[in-house]
Chain A
Amino acid sequence: MMQVKEKSKTVIMDGSKLIVESLVRSGADVFIGYPITPANLLYSYSLERFREFFAAPDEITTLQWMCGFSTTGKIPVTATSFPGYALMLESVNMAYMMELPMVIVLVQRLGPATGSATCGAQGDLSLLHGSISGGFTLPVISVSNMNDCWELSNKAMKMAVDLRTPVVLLTSKEEVMTQASFDISQLSEINLIERKQYSSNETFVPYKTEESLVPEFLKVGNAKHQVRFTASTHDQKGIIQNVAKEAIENTKRLEAKHILNLNKHLYFDYDKENGAETLLISYGITASASREAVKNLRAKGEKVSLLIPKTLLPVAPKYFEIISEYKKVVIAEENLSGQYRKILFGEFGNKNISGVNGFAEMITPAKIVDAVLFK
C-alpha cells in the first residue's frame, strides 16, 4: 500500500504471508493448527513454509502439542479464530503457568458463537483480557497495517521468548486476507530469536528467578538436570503446593514479570498534533480508517492527535500519560460496546470519553470524523 517510489519492489501481498514469513525468519520451529476461517491462509502458508507442520485434530490438542514442543525448547505457533481460541483457553492458562513461550495468531471474525466466519470483527479483546484466571495479564499485540504484520510478528515472538509466556498476535479477517500492492523493498531485516538454555553445572531449579523475574529455561529430556513443569500451583522447584507462601509468591510473579518488563515490549504509534485537544485512539483494522479520518480532519484544518496502541495488554502507563494531555478522547473499534474503551476507562466511563463502534461492518473514516467533531 506504499506509494510507488524508485527502486520499489511491488508485489501482491496479504497479511497472512507477511506474518508466516516473519515468524519463520524469527526462528519459529513448528506450526500446529486446526483449520478455521479466516485463519486458513495462515494455515496453508505455514504448511508451505514451516520446517515442521502438524495438523492437529482440534484446538485443545493444538495447544497441548504446542506446550509439548515448547517444553523441549522449540518455538511453536498456531493461528485460530474465536471458536478455536475458546477451546484453547484452559490450555493457554496451562502454558502461562508453565511459562512456555508460543505465539497464537488470533484472527477475529464475527461472533457470537460460530457467527459469520467470513465477516471481520474486533470482538475478542475482552475475552483475552480475562483469559487468565486470577486477574493476570496475557500479553496481546495487535497489528494495525501490513508492515505491522511483518514487524510485530517478530516482536510478539521476542516477547514470548524473553518473558517465557504465550503471546497473542491479534488480527482480524480483513488484515490477514485482503490482498494489496505492497513494496517489499522497505521490509526490515528480521532478527533470529533464540531460546537460551540454562548452562550451569549447579542444580537446576526450574522456577528460580533473578531480577528479570523470568526463570532460566532448560529443556525437558536433557541428560544433565531434572526439569519439572507443572500447571498446578508450585514452588520454585516445580513441586505442587497448595497455597504455601513460596508457591503463591511464585504465581504472583507471573503478573509481576509482565509489568516489570513491559517497556521493553511496548509498541504504539503516536501521531501528536500540537494544540490538539482531542485524542483519537484506535487499533487493529480500525486503525487504518482512523489514519484516514485524521488525514481528512487535518485537511479541513481540524486539530486532532492519533494514538494507535499495538501492545494492547498489559495496558501501558504511557498510554495514560498521553491521554492525560487531552480534553476529549474518542476510541474507535469494531465491536458492539467498546472493549478496549472499557479496559482503559471502566464500564462507567466519563463524559469526555466516547466510542465509535461498529458491528458486522468496517467502521468508516466518515463515522470517525463525525465522532471527533461531535461537541
Chain B
Amino acid sequence: MEKFLTDEALPFCKGCGHHHIAGNTEKALQSLGMNPMDVILVTDIGCHGIIDKSFKTHTVHGLHGRSVALASGISAALENPDKKVIVFIGDGGTTIGMQHLFNAAHNGFNMTVVIHNNMLYGMTGGQCSEFTPMGFKTPTLPNGADKAGYDICKLIAAVDGVTYVSRLEGIGDFSEQLAEAFSKKGFSLVEVMEICPSYGVKSNPGMKLSNVMEGAGLDVKKYADTEAVNYKSKINQSSNVLFNDDDIIETAFPSKLEKEVRLMLCGSAGEGIQGAAEMLLEAGIVSGLNGTKKGSYPVTVGVGFSASEIILSSDEILYTGSPNPDVICVTSTDGLDYARKTLTSMKGGKLFLDSSLTAPETKAEVISFPFRERGGAKNSSMYCLFYMLTATGLFPMESLMKVFSESKISKKIDAEKMFQSLREPVIANETKKIIS
C-alpha cells in the first residue's frame, strides 16, 4: 500500500488532536487507492500546518489564513480534475481568512478543506478564536468565552456552489468519513473537532470533547451532500488582439498647423465632453497631426464636471500635461468651476464659452455663443467643437466632418441643422454677456 506519511514522528505535542487527522488522512487516501503524486496538500500557518514535511505528497505551505485561496489558485489552474487538492487549516486560519472559504465554495473550486478546530490558536499560545465555544476557557479567556463560536458547517453549507460539508469528532478512526469528502468533486469541507492538550485541556480540566460539542450544538453530521458542479476554468475562446490594421487612421486632409496647440474641453458629465474630445483627437490625426487626449472627471463618472485635455502637434509630443491651454471650451457651470483656475492663469489664447455663463477674470479672448440653447445640453460639446474649429481653423473642417459622419453621433445630430444654427447670428436675449 502507498505510504503518504514518512516514518518520522509527527511534530505535535503528545496527545494533540492533529495526530489523528494526519493518520486518518493517510488511511483515507489509501482506501481511495490514491498515489502521493496525485495529491497536493496545502497547509496553513499554525501547529497543524507544520505537518507538510511529514507528507510524501506534493506540499505547499503558505501564509496564515490564506491556504484556501492559495489552493483555489492551484485547483483552478490544474488541468487534471483527478488530482486531489487538500487544505489543512486551523480554526485560527479560518478566522482570519474566512472569506476565502466562502469564495472557494462559491466558485466550487475542486478541493477538500479540513478544518482542524481545536477551538483556539495553538501555535501562538492558546488565545481564543472566533470558534471558541461559549464557556470554553483558554489562557486568554480564563472565565470562558461569553458568546457561541461560529458554526462554519452551517455557514458554508448555505453557499451556492458547495458540494459537501460535514462535521466529525476527531477521535479514533474517521478515515471513512474523510475518504467520502476526498472522493467528492467540487468544493468539500470537513470540520474536525479536536483538542489541544497544551492549552485547551489545561484551561478546562476534565473536559470531554463530546460534551463541549454537545453543549455548543456542534452536531456530528453532514450539512451538504450534492452533485458537484465541478469547477472548470473559463477559457476565453474569442480572445482578439487589442489593436490591428483595422484601427489605422489615414491622413486625409493635411493640416498646416506649425506649433503645438493645447486644448481643454470642460463641461458636465453626460453632455458629450469625452466623445467630443475623442473626435477632436481623431480628426487631428486625420489631418496628419500627432495628438494626445486625457480625461478628467470625479470618481463618480455620471455626475459633476467632465473635462478633457487634448494636445495636437505636427511634432512629437513629449510632455502630456497642459498647464497653459491655447484654446479652452466651456459649456456648463460644472465645466466653468473646473476651468476657473486655469482661466485666470491663462496669458492669452481663446475661451469659447456658453453664453449662459459669465467669464471669470482672464487674459484669454472670450467668445460667447449659446451652445446649450442651440444644440441642447446633450449636444452642447459637439456644437462647441464645430464652432471652435470654424473659428480657429486649426485643421481642415473636412477632417472633423469625416470623423463625425463615420461616428454614431452623426445619427443623433443633424449636421446640416447644426451648421445652420452655428451660423445664425446671436440674438440679444440669448446672450447674457459677451466680453471681448
Q: Are A118 and B296 neighbours in the complex by a CB distance under 8 Å?
A: yes
**Option from B45, B78, B291, B296 in Cβ contact (under 8 Å) with A221:** B78
Known A9-B248, A11-B248, A221-B40; contact A180-B241, beta-carbon cutoff 8 A: no
Partner of A228, one of B58, B66, B71, B241: B58
A238 to chain B: which residues have CB within 8 Å? Answer: 59
Of residues 309 through 324 on chain B, the ones whose CB sits less than 8 Å from some CB of chain A are 315-321, 323
- Select B285's contact among A12, A47, A90, A117, beta carbons within 8 Å: A12
Give complex CA distance A177, B274 in Å. 13
| Given A61-B100, A179-B293, A180-B292; A72-B77 close (CB under 8 Å) | yes
Shortest CB–CB separation between residue B90 and chain A, in angstroms? 15
The 4 closest A-B pairs by CB, nearest first: A68-B73, A64-B69, A65-B73, A362-B321
Kindly list 16 other residue pairs between chains A and B, CB separation below 8 angstroms, not including A10-B251, A178-B293. A1-B292, A2-B316, A10-B248, A17-B242, A94-B62, A181-B281, A184-B247, A184-B248, A221-B37, A221-B38, A221-B40, A229-B61, A230-B62, A231-B62, A240-B53, A295-B318
Chain A hits for B74, CB < 8 A: 68-69, 71-72, 220-221
Residue of A nearest to B53 (CB): A239
CA distance A224 to B37 in the complex (A): 7
Q: How many residues of A contact B (CB 8 A)?
A: 77
Closest Cβ–Cβ distance, residue B408 to chain A (whole Å): 16
| CB-nearest residue of chain A to B71 | A68
How distant is the Cα of A51 from the Cα of B36 in the complex, in angstroms? 31
Majority secondary structure, A binding face: mixed
B134 at the interface (CB under 8 A from A): no
CB distance from B240 to the nearest CB of A (A): 7
- Cα distance, A291 to B317, chains bound together (Å): 10
Q: How far is the CA of A270 from the CA of B299 in the complex (A)?
A: 38
Q: List residues of chain A with CB within 8 A of the CB of B58.
A: 220-221, 226-228
Q: Name the one of B37, B241, B317 contacting A226, with C-beta atoms under 8 angstroms.
A: B37
Question: Can you sample 8 A-B contacts with CB below 8 Å?
Answer: A20-B242, A54-B76, A64-B69, A98-B60, A181-B249, A184-B247, A288-B320, A292-B318
B300 to chain A, nearest CB (A): 10
Count of chain B residues with a beta carbon within 8 Å of a chain A beta carbon? 72
A53 to B72, CA, bound (A): 14
B60 in contact with A64 (CB, 8 Å): no
Check A12 against B100 for contact (C-beta < 8 Å): no
Contacts of B271 in A (CB 8 A): none
Q: Does A364 contact B (CB under 8 A)?
A: yes
B316 touches A1 (CB 8 A): yes
Q: How far is the CA of A60 from the CA of B69 in the complex (A)?
A: 9
